[in-house]
Chain A
Amino acid sequence: MVEFYTVKRIDNSRLVRHVEPVKTRNLYKTVALGSVVAAFCMMYVYQHFRYIDLGLQLEDLKSKTQQARVLNSQLKLNIASLRDPRRIDLIARDKLGLTQPTANQIRDYASSDGSEFAEVRNPGPTRAR
């Protein structure tokens, strides 16, 4: 059998893809609209999870604040107990060797803040002449 090979030259250079402007415009519009919708969806989802995350952080901070308040209360209690007059009295007498001043011993008469005359709130009648 004799085979004959022929060369078929295909020249597509003269072919130009037909561009339809309307379809192109529609495509861009669709992409833009889709992007906007996608952005809104992303924003909504982000806000939702951010809200939950912030809520958890807030509760965590509230918990820390509460712990700080508890510690503050405990410290106030400790301060109050350290200021117990009996405790100070015992330390003054037993540890520091202090004794009670006599009635006429030297003492500071400058009024400290907070001291007040017990009688001046409503002084009694003046002495009769």
Chain B
Amino acid sequence: MEQEKVHVRLLIFAGCILLWITAVFGRVAYIQLFCHADYLKKALRQQVHSIEMYPKRGVIFDRKGHPLAMSVPVKSAFAMPGEIKDRALAARLLSGALGISAEEIRDKMDSGPSFIWAKRKLTPEAAEAVESLNLKGVYLQEENKRFYPKRDLAAHVLGFVDVDEKGLGGIEREYDGAIRGKAEKIVVLSDGRQQVLSAGEAQNDRGANVTLTIDEKVQYIAERELEAAIEKTHAPAGTVIVQDPNTGAILALANWPKFNPNAADSVPAERRENRAISQIYEPGSTFKLITLAAAFDQNLIRADEVFNCENGSVTVAGHLIHDHKKYGMLTVADILANSSDVGAIKISLRLGSQKFYEYIKAFGFGTPTGIDLPWESRGLVNRLEHWGSYSIASVSMGQEVGVTPLQMITAVSAIANGGMLYKPHVVEEMSRGETALPIEGASTLTAPKRIIRPETAATLRQLMEGVVLHGTGKKARLDGWTVGGKTGTAQKIDPSTGKYSATNVIASFSGFVPINNPAVTILVSIDSPGGYPHGGGDVAAPVFKRIAEQILPYLDVARDVPTSPQLVAASFHKNSDTSDDSLDDLSPIVFNEQPDTTQPYSAKPQAIKEKPPKSPEVLMAADEGGDIAIPDFSGKTMREVSESCMRLGLNPVLIGTSVAVQQSPAAGAKVRRGTKMTVEFGDTQVHASKSK
């Protein structure tokens, strides 16, 4: 009986267990088999997210690979107001960490329950402060911020971006699409605690890197000398451009005033204007180069031909024009060297309006050059049908025509390189990783256009050398290199009277170095220099000289004029304040600091406060110049050239096949042992036809 009772109880217990197991497994079976799709949908909704990934903006390098603009990840603070219980307290705490007013933060929080930016792109200190607050509902997110580590260097070329890293000026704007890359969505799998279990990889379309033709050192030298000239003359603005005349590549483009693109939004728009490509000015005497180029190319004049400059005045279509000096009979060479307006007018009258206009357009005036920078001005050239009876005289002197500094230097470069008009450009190449990208669209380099004959260009180069040797450009003369150039002193229009101002001018000098095989063309333009004299020969030519003296050795341009050996006394002065310890304080410059345009940097070194102790002087031999005369290799074979170079102690670089057609340095130049000697080989007939 007892046993039967126990047996029954066991059976009942087992039955309950069995029932429970059946219920559980039945439920599991129901969920797995009948509700599978539904629960799978819910799980995917919870676990799988897609997030938009923005690739890092590409880096902008100078021609030597030094970074000029780069993006670095920084933290941005955002809040979810719906999760914040005490918004007033949170706003107060955040205000201290972020440096903005609590009211501003509170207003943002009250604007809605969902996502708001507290402050974007924080400094590391601010991000740390927010993180240490550990506020519920306040989070940090990583974003990329654009930095310009050289601050205001080449600011007008680089441009700047807004807070969303969208390019707003310069290269940043012109190539914004490529540099930015494309946003991409990637799928992320996360668990219940929102920890990421796995994430897809961003596939492609990183931002492209851009390598400029700008040389960081040349750019700095140009900016420094421009700044010094601005300080000396108290001018409000100025421009310097350095160009390679053989390719059109811009090595430096400096404007004053300048700005720091790290804080571009705090700067007035006029400081961000790229005057080198947008400022239109009447070029004045510099435009005589075009007048003479056209006349020479049409075989209408000779360099030694004499013109009567009418003792300094001439009447054209009822307008009386005065020269700046009373000149009598001048050769064409002297007309250019002395910048005689009367002489230029007579030459232009011989040329005629039609031909003159054609050459003006051929030199690229009145048309954008096509440089790969935004907002380039086309200049101002009246159409021929709108020319008055006096226009030809006006234009021949560089009035009644508006040019940009870039158009002017491009034209001078065409004279320098033998008559080929190259499209100026600042981008050397673009790449994504190791892959080079094509530069497409309007920025594509086009083949150069021949605008004057090589003989015309050669004649003009000689005449421009005369300007520097015994004309208005004497202050541009260099020791060791031949220089050709032209000064310009263009009167500005006085807005109050509508007439030409007697005092406000644009002083300019455009030139190239050396005369044969020019390596660089430099344009200096100073707007409204104060004081007197204020002409191009007095204000701009010395700046040209200072820039050329520094960049020519840097660019390894061989001297083509022997220099007299000098003995210089040199002594070592140890700055009494200098010790190894003082070099420890080399903290980087604050990024957001704007350049002081009221007191530009002075090119002169600071005076040493304490007189250093007297140290022994040493007499040292100065640079004696080169002592090897370069022979003429034209027509020689590769073997002959190599043997000659080895014998002379030169370092040959031979390009091409057949016989020598071009060489650098030119024949006759004096160089040192070990100088690189580049010789191009090819078919002489093909080369001759290419030159035409």
Contact = CB atoms under 8 A, between A and B. Distances in A.
Nearest to B70: A77
Contact of A124 (B198, B246, B589, B676): B246
A49 to B, nearest CB: 12
A119 B517 contact: yes
B662 A123 contact: yes
Interface in A39-86: 52, 55-56, 58-59, 62, 69-70, 73-74, 76-78, 80-86
Interface stretch (A7-15, A27-35, A104-112): A104-112
Interface stretch (B216-224, B326-334, B345-353, B359-367): B216-224
A52 to B, nearest CB: 6
B668 A125 contact: no
Given A58-B198, A120-B664, A84 B70 contact: no
Interface residues of B, number: 92
Interface stretch (B309-317, B388-396, B617-625): B617-625
Contacts of A59: 195-199
Interface in B564-602: 566, 568, 573-575, 577-578, 582-583, 586, 588-589, 591, 601
A115 B551 CA distance: 12
A94 B585 CA distance: 13
A104 B663 CA distance: 26
Contact of B417 (A76, A87, A96, A124): A124
B247 A95 contact: no
Given A84-B589, A85-B217, A117 B557 contact: yes
A82 B621 CA distance: 35
B493 interface: no
B674 A110 contact: yes
Contacts of B257: none
A52 B197 contact: yes
A128 interface: yes
Given A94-B606, A121-B246, A106 B662 contact: no
Contact of B150 (A78, A81, A96, A120): A81
Contacts of A56: 195, 197
B21 to A, nearest CB: 18
B293 interface: no
Contacts of B558: 117
B631 interface: no
Given A59-B199, A125-B691, A81 B588 contact: yes
A80 B66 contact: yes
Interface residues of A, number: 55
A81 B151 CA distance: 8
B58 interface: no
A122 to B, nearest CB: 4
A122 B578 contact: no
Contact of A81 (B149, B217, B672): B149
A118 interface: yes
Given A104-B622, A123-B664, A124-B246, A70 B197 contact: no
Interface in B420-478: 454-455, 458, 478
B67 A86 contact: no
B520 A86 contact: no
A73 B220 contact: no
Contact of B578 (A76, A96, A100): A96
The CB with the most chain B CB atoms within 10 A, among A74, A80, A103, is that of: A103
A126 interface: yes
B518 A70 contact: no
Contacts of A91: 586
B72 interface: yes
A116 interface: yes
A117 B678 contact: yes
B73 A70 contact: yes
A107 B612 CA distance: 25
A84 B586 contact: no
Nearest to A58: B198
Contacts of A107: 553, 623
B311 to A, nearest CB: 36
The CB with the most chain B CB atoms within 10 A, among A94, A110, A125, is that of: A125
A97 interface: yes
A128 B520 contact: no
B72 A95 contact: no
The CB with the most chain B CB atoms within 10 A, among A73, A83, A84, A117, is that of: A117
A73 B150 CA distance: 16
Contacts of B586: 82, 91
B662 A125 contact: yes
A125 B73 contact: no
A111 B244 contact: no
Contact of A126 (B246, B554, B608, B666): B666
A77 to B, nearest CB: 5
Interface string B493-521: 00000000000000000000000111110
Contacts of B582: 95
B555 interface: yes
A102 B520 CA distance: 20
B667 A84 contact: no
A78 to B, nearest CB: 6
Given A84-B149, A103-B480, A111-B556, A70 B72 contact: yes
Contact of A77 (B149, B516, B553, B680): B149
A107 B481 CA distance: 16
B555 A115 contact: yes
Nearest to A115: B556
A105 to B, nearest CB: 6
B124 to A, nearest CB: 8
B64 A87 contact: no
B242 to A, nearest CB: 10
Contacts of B675: 109
Contacts of B67: 76, 80
A38 B608 CA distance: 87
Nearest to B667: A127
A111 B483 CA distance: 23
B575 A95 contact: yes
Contact of A118 (B220, B418, B520): B520
Given A70-B73, A81-B588, A109-B675, A121 B149 contact: no
Contacts of A117: 519, 555-558, 664, 676, 678
Interface string B55-74: 00000000010110011110
A24 interface: no
Nearest to A84: B150
Nearest to B448: A122
A102 to B, nearest CB: 8
5 contacts: A77-B147, A85-B150, A87-B588, A117-B558, A124-B516
Interface of B: 64, 66-67, 70-73, 142, 147, 149-151, 153, 189, 191, 195-199, 216-217, 220, 224, 244-247, 251, 416-418, 454-455, 458, 478-480, 516-520, 549-550, 553-558, 563, 566, 568, 573-575, 577-578, 582-583, 586, 588-589, 591, 601, 603, 605-606, 608, 612, 620-623, 632, 634, 653, 661-664, 666-668, 672, 674-676, 678, 680, 691
- Give 5 closest A-B pairs by Cβ, nearest first: A80-B149, A97-B575, A85-B220, A81-B149, A119-B519
Given A95-B582, A126-B661, A126-B667, 7 more contacts: A58-B198, A73-B71, A81-B588, A84-B149, A102-B568, A106-B623, A120-B664
Interface of A: 52, 55-56, 58-59, 62, 69-70, 73-74, 76-78, 80-87, 89, 91, 93-100, 102-107, 109-111, 114-128
